[in-house]
């Protein structure tokens, strides 16, 4: 089989896009109303602060979301010290997009939820049997899945509300972009845009981050959402490499958000 330069580029872009995903962030229909229900915390009953063990029971587990695989998060920065930003006020966004609690949490945990795909006709063929066009289509189709980093972090006192506000303020204040450094590697984000949140929990805000991923591909956009459930924040960061390769729009995976919101109630 003769592979085109486009196919080779496609494989390279997949790795490049994933690298961007793990150190930056992650609705094609934007909205100025980015918060869901924003009831005042002063009128709400005191919320529980969870331990790590309790959060691990509350976060999504394998078998709880049909059509998805839930597994331990790997490849993301292990500590907050590994994630820095050119502007400190933008750091909550970078943390939310790298499987870290966006604030000073009492406890936190994370998993990766990956959409499962049914096998295609080309999946049963060997690489040698694939025609040039089939190889490119097969590569793109195989990567056209949503991968979502889900994080739960629990806070004491008013810290959850304050942390959520820091995220909300950063979406607005960092709209012109910022630079993220993780594991010694820098990534320039050129734009942050508020998007329509899921409306789950007490408050929710979603945003898109745009950055350069490859000279041929140009800019790519990834999506994230932060939801407050009492004293607990749920963070979602979704990447779809196939969509990035073909420059098609995608969103934070609503199925994952809904499933996690139901479990945390």
DSSP letter (8 states) at residue 39: -
What are the tens digits of pLDDT across the range 138-160? Answer: 545 567 889 999 999 999 999 99
Task: Report, as ranges of residue numbers, the positions in the chain whose pLDDT lies below 50.
Answer: 1-45, 120-125, 127, 130, 134-135, 139
Rounded distance between C-alpha atoms, residue 166 and residue 54, angstroms: 25
Position 15 scores a pLDDT of 37
This model's pTM is above 0.85: no
Helix, strand or coil, per DSSP, at residue 80: helix
Say how far apart CA 129 and CA 135 lie, in whole Å.
Answer: 9
Looking at residue 131, its pLDDT comes to 56
Is there a contact between 108 and 76 (Cβ–Cβ < 8 Å)? no
Identify the H or E element spanning 180.
strand 178-182
The continuous run of DSSP H or E covering 176 comes out as none
Contact 7, 136 (CB under 8 A): yes
pLDDT for residue 119: 54
Our CA angle for 29, 12, 249, nearest 5°, is 10
The count of other CB atoms within 10 Å of the CB of residue 57 is 11
- Residue 223 has which token pair? 């999506």
Hey, what CATH topology would domain 5-264 get? Protein Transport Mog1p; Chain A (3.40.1000)
Question: So what's the pLDDT on residue 215?
Answer: 60
Note the pLDDT of residue 176. Answer: 95
Please tell me what DSSP assigns to residue 230.
Answer: T
For residue 75 the two structure tokens come to 């490849």
pLDDT tens digits, one per residue of 27-39: 333 333 334 333 3
Count of residues making up the chain: 265
Torsion of CA 249, 255, 258, 259, to 10 degrees: -150
Sheet holding 218-229, edge to edge: 68-72, 107-115, 147-154, 232-239, 218-229, 203-214, 185-195, 178-182, 83-85
Contact 117, 144 (CB under 8 A): yes
Q: Please report, for the chain, the start and end positions of each structural domain, with discontinuous segments joined by +.
A: 5-264
Distance CA 16, CA 21 (A): 9
């Amino acid at each position: 089989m003769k592979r085109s330069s486009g196919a080779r580029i496609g494989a390279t872009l997949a790795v490049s896009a994933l690298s961007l995903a793990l150190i930056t962030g992650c609705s094609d229909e934007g909205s100025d109303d980015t918060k869901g229900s924003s009831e005042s915390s002063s009128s709400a009953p005191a919320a529980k602060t969870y331990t790590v063990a309790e959060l691990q029971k509350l976060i999504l587990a394998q078998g709880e979301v049909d059509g998805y695989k839930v597994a331990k998060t790997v490849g993301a920065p292990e500590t907050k010290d590994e994630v820095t930003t050119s502007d400190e006020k933008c750091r909550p966004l970078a943390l939310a997009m790298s499987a870290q609690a966006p604030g000073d949490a009492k406890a936190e945990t994370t998993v990766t939820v990956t959409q499962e795909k049914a096998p295609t006709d080309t999946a049963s063929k060997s690489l040698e049997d694939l025609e040039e066009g089939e190889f490119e289509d097969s590569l793109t189709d195989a990567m056209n899945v949503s991968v979502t980093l889900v994080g739960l972090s629990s806070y004491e006192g008013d810290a959850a509300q304050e942390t959520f506000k820091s995220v909300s303020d950063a979406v607005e204040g960092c709209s012109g972009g910022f630079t993220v450094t993780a594991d010694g590697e820098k990534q320039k984000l050129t734009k942050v845009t508020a998007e329509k949140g899921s409306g789950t929990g007490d408050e929710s805000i979603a945003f898109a981050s745009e950055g350069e991923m490859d000279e041929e591909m140009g800019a790519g956009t990834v999506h994230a959402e932060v939801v407050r459930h009492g004293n607990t924040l749920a963070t979602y960061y979704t990447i779809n490499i196939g969509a990035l390769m073909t420059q098609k729009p995608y969103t934070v995976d609503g199925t994952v958000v809904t499933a996690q919101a139901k479990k945390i109630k």
